[in-house]
Amino acid sequence: MGPLPVSEWTEEDRELLRGNLPRADRYLSGEADAPPMPAILGLFARHSRVGAPWLAFSGTLLDDGALDPRDRELLILRVGHRTGCRYQWAQHVGMAQAAGLTLEQIAAVAAGCVADGADAAGTAGVWTDRDRDLLRAADQLVDNHVIDDATWARLAAHLDERQLLELTFVVGSYVCLAMVLNSVGLEPAALPDPDDAKDSRAVPDAAPIP
């Protein structure tokens, strides 16, 4: 299932998406210099009554959330890797760099599991203890749908109650989004090589949506 062409959007689609994502105006302006429409907006236009509120929710996580942006993007990249969501990975690589993750760290996100307390081969020294616990939390939520008591307790030393709650919302919502994107086969126009985690270039479609 591909994006709905803008020419087929109803007025309701336009109003719903504009109302829940203010930056949508720049894509719908009709101006000659308007940026290309992100594929995910076109996909959500196929069911704008669900897609538009989703954009509002994800926009809150991205723009008004309590988590540090670096922590948030680390979690999202881990979800993108664990769920095999190529679109999600490509969409957030540039955002992760902007939030402070290095190319080495972005590559290490896809290098393996840290749940056993050891770094994956070739990633020694890349992560802080806090980073490892964030990655563990993401892995545990993906695998078991719960963060274990030990990981939760360690995270609670660094995060307040709002941030802890938001962590579960971020991982859960991006797992849900990955299910949608993987099922419809949505991919960005320019895609980093999925077999090369170090190919973490930002892509033209990598606007913060969502």
Q: State the 10-residue block means of pLDDT for the chain, 210 residues long.
A: 87 84 69 75 90 89 94 96 93 94 91 58 76 95 96 96 98 96 84 47 44
| Per-residue pLDDT at 154 | 97
Other C-beta atoms closer than 10 Å to the C-beta of 131 total 18
Q: Report d(CA 49, CA 16) in Å as an integer.
A: 7
Give the fold, CATH level 3, of 68-184: AhpD-like (1.20.1290)
* Ranges in the chain annotated CATH 1.20.1290.10: 68-184
| Per-residue pLDDT at 29 | 67
**Alpha helix (H) ranges present in the chain?**
11-20, 24-28, 39-44, 48-63, 69-82, 86-99, 103-109, 129-144, 149-156, 161-184
| Per-residue pLDDT at 20 | 74
Q: For residue 36, is the peptide bond before it cis, meaning its omega torsion is within 30 degrees of 0?
A: no
